[in-house]
Structure 1
Amino acid sequence: MIIVTGAAGFIGSCLIARLNELNFNYIIAVDDFSFPAKNKNLEGKKIKERVERTELATWLDQHYREVEFFFHIGARTDTTEFDKSIFDELNVNYSKMVWQKCIDYQIPLVYASSAATYGLGELGYDDNESQIPNLKPLNPYGDSKNDFDIWALQQEEKPFFWAGLKFFNVYGPNEYHKGRMASVIWHAFNQISEKGSLRLFKSHKPEYADGEQMRDFIYVKDLISVCVFLMEHRKNSGIYNLGTGIARSFNALGTSTFVAMNKPVQINYIDTPVDIRDTYQYFTEANMSKLRSIGYEDPFFTLEAGVKDYVQNYLIPGKYW
């Protein structure tokens, strides 16, 4: 059996879809299942059992002998939430429980960290573990992910295999429920569908033109391929970046969305909301050499190819993966 936390969410449900495609059908889906908006993400998927998030520790104590791998994807990911206690509970302490259970029961573990840990990128975007204690995230969400990374590295006892993955800007199917926290591509598709135009944030830094803020956008199918690789690889434990290694502008992202929808490009610019303006990342780009050095060789989707697949095969027909 394979455990997936955050199973009804965006990345967790995509991971289950890929595992099912690979004929892994004994999936233990862990989540807070009280949010009906996420239920469609699991429709049609082969799952052995659903376990409420709060019941996982007890369930593991009873069924650990059957568990072969643990993907801890679930987290509170709202970057506009500033109640630190919520992140301490859901992102830090819950992850510590998962970590300890994987040690106790000898279960290999992959968990989700975040590129939000890099803050403004003052120290670059290298997944050098010696630099992790020096990083300065910009919000409590980023703090919580970095706090757990630091804690994990400090532990004398570790799972026999573990990997923390710093997800960069992920986009793709099954994010319909995420609202404001959905990818810019999801928002772009909806804006273009409704109005024929797209609004992007203005730049509030003179060194960047409007829409030329840059991020490392990674298609969720690539992210899932890396997860499967690590499940099969099971060596070289540590913390890894997970982006494409190539930063692209929001203008390029918007243009790719118009092209995928076969519509003329019309981009307008609006002020960045005040509540996120001071913590807005203008540039992110993952150094991917560490993951490549352990044998991951698959190419990543280009932004254009990823957007085309997402828009034409999922957003336009309203399909889930």
Structure 2
Amino acid sequence: MIIVTGAAGFIASCLVSRLNQANFNDIVVVDNFSISKKERNLQGKKIKEFVDRDGFFEWLDENYEEVEFIFHLGARTDTTEFNKDVFDLLNLDYSKKVWNACCEYQIPLVYASSAATYGAGALGYDDDEAIIPLLKPLNPYGESKNDFDIWALEQTAKPFFWAGLKFFNVYGPNEYHKERMASVIYHAYNQIREKGRLALFRSHNPNYADGEQMRDFIYVKDVVDVCLFLMHHRKNSGIYNLGSGKARTFMSLALNTFDAMGAEVNIDFMDTPENIRDNYQYFTEANMSKLRSIGYDKPFYTLEEGVQDYVQNYLVPGKFY
């Protein structure tokens, strides 16, 4: 059996689909299934068992001998949430329990970290584990992810294989339930469809023109392909960046979305909300040499390819992955 936590969420539900495509059908999905707005993400998938996240460790104590791999992707991901206790409970403490169980039962583990750990990028975006304790995340979400990375690296007891993945700006099908935390592409599509226009955040940094803020956008299909690679690879444990390796502007994202929709370009700008303005990242770009060095050689979707696939094959027809 393969366990996927946070399974009804965006990336994890896409991973379940990708595992099914690779003929892995004994999938145990773990989540808070009382959140009905996510339930469509798992419809039609081959799943062996549904386990509530609060009962997961009791379930694992009884079934660990049958578990082949754990993907721990469940987390609170709201970057505008500032209640540290929420992140300590769901991101830090829960992840420690997953780690310790994997050590006790010798189960390999891949878990979700985040590019939010890099903060404003003062130390760059290299997944060098030596700099992880020096990073300065900009919000409690990023802090919780970095705190766990630091904790994991400090442990003497480790799963025989483990990998933490610093997800950059992931976009793609199955993210509808994330609401304000969904990708800019998702929001752009809906704005253009409903209003025939798109509003981007104005730049409040003199080094960047409006719309020229840059992010490393990575398509979710690349993310789940890397997860499968690591499940089969099972060596070279450590913390890895997972982005496309190429920063692109929000203007490029917008133009590609208009193009994929066959719509006339109509863009204006609005002020970045004050509650996130001071902690706004103007540039992120993953150094992907570490993952490439262990043998992952599949090319990543370009922004053009990813936006076109997402818009035309999922958003327009209203399909899930």
Q: TM-score, normalised by structure 1?
A: 1.00
Alpha-carbon distance in 2 for matches of 1:256, 1:34: 36
Match of 2:76 in 1: 76
Alpha-carbon distance in 2 for matches of 1:184, 1:73: 21
Alpha-carbon distance in 2 for matches of 1:215, 1:43: 32
Q: Once the 2 structures are TM-superposed, how far is the Cα of residue 227 of structure 1 from its aligned partner?
A: 0.3
Whichever residue aligns with residue 198 of structure 2, its letter is L
Q: Once the 2 structures are TM-superposed, how far is the Cα of residue 76 of structure 1 from its aligned partner?
A: 0.1
Match of 1:200 in 2: 200
Q: Once the 2 structures are TM-superposed, how far is the Cα of residue 282 of structure 1 from its aligned partner?
A: 0.4
Q: Deviations over 1:149-179 (max 9, x none)?
A: 0000000010000000000000000001110
Correspondence list, 1:102-251, <5 A:
102-251=102-251
Alpha-carbon distance in 2 for matches of 1:33, 1:268: 39
Alpha-carbon distance in 1 for matches of 2:237, 2:189: 38
Match of 2:279 in 1: 279
Q: Which consecutive segments of 4 or more residues in structure 1 shift more than 2 A?
A: none
Alpha-carbon distance in 2 for matches of 1:287, 1:151: 23
Alpha-carbon distance in 2 for matches of 1:266, 1:287: 33
Structure 1: runs of 5+ lacking an equivalent = none
Match of 1:298 in 2: 298
Q: Deviations over 1:22-60 (max 9, x none)?
A: 110000000000111000000000000000000011000
Q: Deviations over 1:115-154 (max 9, x none)?
A: 0000000000000000000000000000000000000000
Whichever residue aligns with residue 139 of structure 2, its letter is N
Whichever residue aligns with residue 7 of structure 1, its letter is A
Match of 1:45 in 2: 45
Alpha-carbon distance in 1 for matches of 2:199, 2:4: 35
1:86 aligns with 2:83: no
Q: Once the 2 structures are TM-superposed, how far is the Cα of residue 266 of structure 1 from its aligned partner?
A: 1.0
Whichever residue aligns with residue 32 of structure 1, its letter is N
Alpha-carbon distance in 1 for matches of 2:177, 2:156: 39
Match of 1:31 in 2: 31
Q: Once the 2 structures are TM-superposed, how far is the Cα of residue 222 of structure 1 from its aligned partner?
A: 0.3
2:80 is paired with a residue of what secondary structure? coil
Alpha-carbon distance in 2 for matches of 1:90, 1:267: 38
Alpha-carbon distance in 2 for matches of 1:252, 1:264: 15
Q: Once the 2 structures are TM-superposed, how far is the Cα of residue 309 of structure 1 from its aligned partner?
A: 0.1
Q: Once the 2 structures are TM-superposed, how far is the Cα of residue 220 of structure 1 from its aligned partner?
A: 0.1
Match of 1:58 in 2: 58
Match of 2:15 in 1: 15
Alpha-carbon distance in 1 for matches of 2:123, 2:286: 12
1:269 is paired with a residue of what secondary structure? strand
Q: What RMSD in Å do the two structures reach over aligned CA positions?
A: 0.3
Whichever residue aligns with residue 275 of structure 2, its letter is D
Whichever residue aligns with residue 247 of structure 1, its letter is A
2:299 is paired with a residue of what secondary structure? coil
2:269 is paired with a residue of what secondary structure? strand
Q: Once the 2 structures are TM-superposed, how far is the Cα of residue 264 of structure 1 from its aligned partner?
A: 1.2
Alpha-carbon distance in 1 for matches of 2:221, 2:273: 30
Question: How many equivalent pairs are there?
Answer: 321
Alpha-carbon distance in 1 for matches of 2:207, 2:140: 27
Whichever residue aligns with residue 279 of structure 2, its letter is T
Alpha-carbon distance in 1 for matches of 2:283, 2:74: 26
Alpha-carbon distance in 1 for matches of 2:177, 2:94: 23
Whichever residue aligns with residue 290 of structure 2, its letter is K
Q: Deviations over 1:190-235 (max 9, x none)?
A: 0000011100000001110001000000000000000000000000
1:252 aligns with 2:233: no
Match of 1:309 in 2: 309
Q: Once the 2 structures are TM-superposed, how far is the Cα of residue 265 of structure 1 from its aligned partner?
A: 1.0
Alpha-carbon distance in 1 for matches of 2:242, 2:229: 13
Alpha-carbon distance in 1 for matches of 2:143, 2:169: 17
Q: Once the 2 structures are TM-superposed, how far is the Cα of residue 269 of structure 1 from its aligned partner?
A: 0.4
Structure 2: runs of 5+ lacking an equivalent = none
Q: Once the 2 structures are TM-superposed, how far is the Cα of residue 14 of structure 1 from its aligned partner?
A: 0.1
1:267 aligns with 2:267: yes
Alpha-carbon distance in 2 for matches of 1:116, 1:305: 25
Match of 1:319 in 2: 319
